[in-house]
Amino acid sequence: MARKVFSTTMDEGLLKQLKILAVQLDRPLNDLLEEAARKLLQEKQAADPDALLFAERAAELEVDCLRAIKARIVKIEHKRAEDPVPGIGQEGDRAPGS
């Protein structure tokens, strides 16, 4: 995969600890950061099924991504219609002051 240079800020103590670990492991710092980022993404994707869908779509055209989001919204709306949450989007619900 292509590599891209970027710049960010980080807690000074945390960065120092990462640099020491990189030396101890004889690995480049960016390898440790990429490994940590991959683990975080995997953890979040496991906890949120939609995260995997959006991660897959991130590499596709924006139009395709928007289509996937709209499809997911339709699924959520159908699910809510079948098993409504009290007070959310039900007939007879009125906005305050109306």
Using pLDDT thresholds of 50, 70 and 90, give the confidence band for residue 92.
Answer: low
Burial of 82 (0-12, 13-18, 19+ CB in 10 A): exposed
For residue 35, which of 48, 52, 22, 47 has the smallest C-alpha distance?
22
Domain extent, residue 77, equals 49-86
* Confidence label for 79 from pLDDT (cuts 50, 70 and 90): confident
Mean pLDDT value of segment 59-77: 79
41 and 68 both lie in a single domain: no
Q: How far apart are the first and last CA of the chain?
A: 55
Q: What pLDDT, in 10s, does the model give residues 3-15?
A: 888 899 999 999 9
pLDDT greater than 90 at residue 49 = no
Split into its structural domains, the chain has a count of 2
- pTM of the predicted model, to two decimals? 0.51
In a domain, residue 94? The reply is no
Examine the domain organization and report whether 53 and 82 are in the same domain: yes
Tell whether the model's pLDDT for residue 16 goes beyond 60: yes
76 shares a domain with 66:
yes
Q: Tell me the average pLDDT of the chain.
A: 81
The Cα 7–Cα 77 span in angstroms is: 40
Whether residues 61 and 77 fall in one domain: yes
